[in-house]
Amino acid sequence: MKGSMMRLRGLIRKEWLQILRDPSSIAIAFVLPAILLLLFGYGVSLDARHVALGLVTENPGAATASFTAQFQRSPYFAPRTFLTEKAARHALAQEKIAGFIWLRGDFTRALDAGKTPDIGLFLNGIDANNARIVEGYVQQSWANWIAARAAANGIPDTSPLTVQPRIWFNPAVSSRDYLVPGLIAVIMTLTGALLTALVVAREWERGTMEALMVTRVTMNEIMLSKLIPYFMLGLGGMAVTVLIAVFLFDVPLVGSIPMLLLASALFMLASLGMGLLISAVAKNQFVAGQIAIIAAFLPAFILSGFVFDISSMPAAIRVITHAVAARYFVAILQTLFLAGTVRSVLLPNLLALLAMAAFFLSAARLVARKRLD
């Protein structure tokens, strides 16, 4: 066996033994992603459900009952009835309800007179996302109810065109279905960077790096010996998160598995490369961990587009998002999970990931010196 191969084999075997004996790597590769995915998967949801909505009916009658009944039946609302608009306002101020609908005393009279009455909708804008969802839903319900009433009364539909929305790729418009694939990308960014950053920092901390450096071993061999085992471990962690997504969160996976594997491999190389780069700067585990969270996890969380839409960011920030590897992986995963193997979307993102992996690995290699200074 050639010297170089023998050294690499020795280093990789050492790395595997350490992985088996010291549970921290296993924890970072498998347990951390699983826990984060469960926490975020169950905790983060952008859907409005069981919204406490106040209903103020000043002059109850058959018409108002027919209108409010649709909220009573809806799974999205938990309506509460108030007798006066003042009482509802009070409840809104105390955040007991997210908003209320005000049907004034002339509601039935206006209807009977063949006019469309005005209704009042008051919303708590602090939770802007929820407020917008409720607003949209109430408007939709109101329009439907008016149309249905007109049809029942034999009055022809007067609006010139109707919108029939048809939502592709995520027909239920479940936010979890598109959040979970994005989450996988964000979580695996952290896992990949932590794996290599921590194990290299550990060697510095324990003085073993110094001992390695005075042997004939080359920097390439040291870096490969860190990359190969943790690449496999990282892909294992990736598999765990995909299984959780598909079987626990029931996210459909419509794209091709080999494509998913290819993208994951490229992304893992980029993340591990980032970890190696971090370890060139941070020579103890605490600092390496801090940097991995700040430099890898936070940008991935905020700038990857997994929840905050990139196209609505200011132009300067949009430019920065191109430097975040997770951005491309989020796009790939959301496409593969929900839309399928859409080559025109996947290909540019895969190329970007390849470039990121090449960049981080070569940067880490350039920065790493076989010296202690």
Partner 1 sequence: MAGVTRRFHSGDRIVTALEDVSADVRAGKVTGLVGPDGAGKTTLMRLIAGVLRADAGSIHVFGINVSADPLSVQGMISYMPQRFGLYEDLSVRENLDLYADLQALPMSDRAGRYDELLHMMGMAPFIDRLAGKLSGGMKQKLGLACTLIRPPQLLLLDEPTVGVDPVSRRELWGIVDHLVHEQGMSVFLSTAYLDEAARCDEVLLLHESRVIGSGPPAKFTREMEGRSFVVRAPEHTKRELQAALEELNGVTDAVVQGDAVRLVLDAGVKADVVEAARIPDVDIRPVPPRFEDGFIDLLKGKERAARTASSGTPAPRLTGRTTDAAPVVIDVAHLTKRFGDFTAVDDISFNVKRGEIFGLLGANGAGKSTTFRMLCGLLPATDGRLQVDGRDLRVAAAAARGKLGYMAQKFSLYGDLTVAQNLRFFAAAYNLIGARRTERIEWALGEFELAPWRNATSRDLPLGYKQRMALACALMHEPDVLFLDEPTSGVDPLARREFWRRINALAEGGVTVLVTTHFMDEAEYCDRLIIMAQGKILAEGTSEELKRAIRTDARPNPSMEDAFIALITADEAGKAAA
Contact residues for partner 1 (CB under 8 A)?
A: 1, 3, 6-7, 9-11, 13-14, 17-18, 21-22, 206-208, 210-218, 370-373
Which strands make up the sheet holding 99-103, listed edge to edge? 77-82, 51-57, 99-103, 120-123
Distance CA 333, CA 264 (A): 9
Nearer to partner 1, 9 or 343 (CB): 9
CB of 18 to partner 1, least distance (A): 6
Which CB sits closer to partner 1, 200 or 357? 200
Report, in Å, the least distance between residue 285 CB and partner 1: 15
Q: Considering beta carbons, is residue 4 or 74 the nearer one to partner 1?
A: 4
**Which of 7, 176 has the CB closer to partner 1?**
7
Sign of the alpha-carbon dihedral angle for 166, 246, 263, 29: positive
Q: What is the DSSP string of 113-165?
A: TTPPPP-EEEE-TTSHHHHHHHHHHHHHHHHHHHHHHHHHTTPPP-SS-----
Under 8 Å CB-to-CB from 78, ≥6 apart: which residues? Answer: 50, 51, 52, 53
Nearest approach, Cβ of residue 370 and partner 1 (Å)? 7
As measured in angstroms, the least distance from the Cβ of 363 to partner 1 is 22
| Long-range Cβ contacts of 297-304 (<8 Å, 24+ apart) | 297/186, 297/189, 297/190, 297/193, 299/323, 299/324, 299/326, 300/185, 300/186, 300/189, 300/190, 300/324, 300/325, 300/326, 301/186, 303/327, 304/182, 304/185, 304/186, 304/189, 304/329, 304/330
10 or 340: whose CB is closer to partner 1? 10
Alpha carbon 244 to its chain centroid, in Å, reads 14
Q: Min. distance of Cβ 228 from partner 1 in angstroms? A: 15
Closer to partner 1 at the Cβ: 16 or 76? Answer: 16
CB of 226 to partner 1, least distance (A): 14
CB contact at 8 A, 167 and 261: no
Smaller CB distance to partner 1: residue 241 or 285? 285
Please give the helix or strand (H or E) that residue 80 lies within, else none: strand 77-82
Residue with smaller CB distance to partner 1, 177 or 203: 203
State in angstroms the smallest separation of the CB of 20 from partner 1: 9
Cα 368 vs. chain centroid, distance in angstroms?
33
Shortest reach from residue 283's CB to partner 1, in Å = 14
